[in-house]
Amino acid sequence: ALTDLISTFSDSSIVSWASESVAVLCKSSKLCREEAKKAGTVTTLLRTLKNLKGAGLDEDKAVTAAICEALCSLVFANQENHQEAVRRGAVASMMNMALKGDSALASMWALAALHYLAEDYCLSSTGKCPWVSVAYQARGLEPDRRGHSDLNAKLLVDSSSVRLTMTTLGLITQVTSLVHAGPAHACPGNLTRRDAALHTANSLSGWAAAAVLKSMALTPAL
């Protein structure tokens, strides 16, 4: 039902509300992400975002931020949603929004989406892969692909190719400059939406840019 509301785009406030609802409901719910996969929510979100480009209206800025936030929740530890987002050009779209966004909140969530797209995910209890690759490679050994939290957790989503694409597009240089422009005074996840909207672009973007660099570091060669 939420995907249908987003696809109709009859009212920007409804689209924004529906996208935010998807973000909140699917953030910690594997079942929600699975349902969104069946509904084609990722494709709908990116199509809607494409239709918004260049509008520049205040209500469209809110929709942009909400869509980017929803993508963060949907690609987390879900192979199909992640692949669909990459296939539909989410990397280039999020980079454009992050670096040329019309609002601080939209730029921050676009950077956060890039962070989630660049992450590896495992079949662990949390969906995360706490690799110890840096320590292993320092000793000249292959990375240990077992997670600390879940022994022998198998790799579900390998984002190494996504990280390479981001590097080719010059993302590391861009996000490094945003980190230097910080600092991030608070984690957006701990803020109300009203407080987050009042924070400066540097504060919000600096936090998310640091998260992107953390994900990119999963490929030491970068």
Minimum mean pLDDT range among 74-78, 135-139, 141-145, 180-184: 135-139
Mean pLDDT over 2-17 rounds to 83
- What average pLDDT is seen over the chain? 81
Higher pLDDT, 124 or 195: 124
Q: Which amino acid would we find at residue 161?
A: S
- The whole-number pLDDT of residue 103 equals 80
For tokens 């990280």, the residue is 163
Residue 35 has which token pair? 């349902």
159 falls in which pLDDT band (50, 70, 90)? very high
pLDDT exceeds 50 at position 149: no
Q: How far apart are CA 98 and CA 103, in angstroms?
A: 9
- Kindly tell me if the per-residue pLDDT of 57 is higher than 70: no
What is the model's pLDDT at position 59? 75
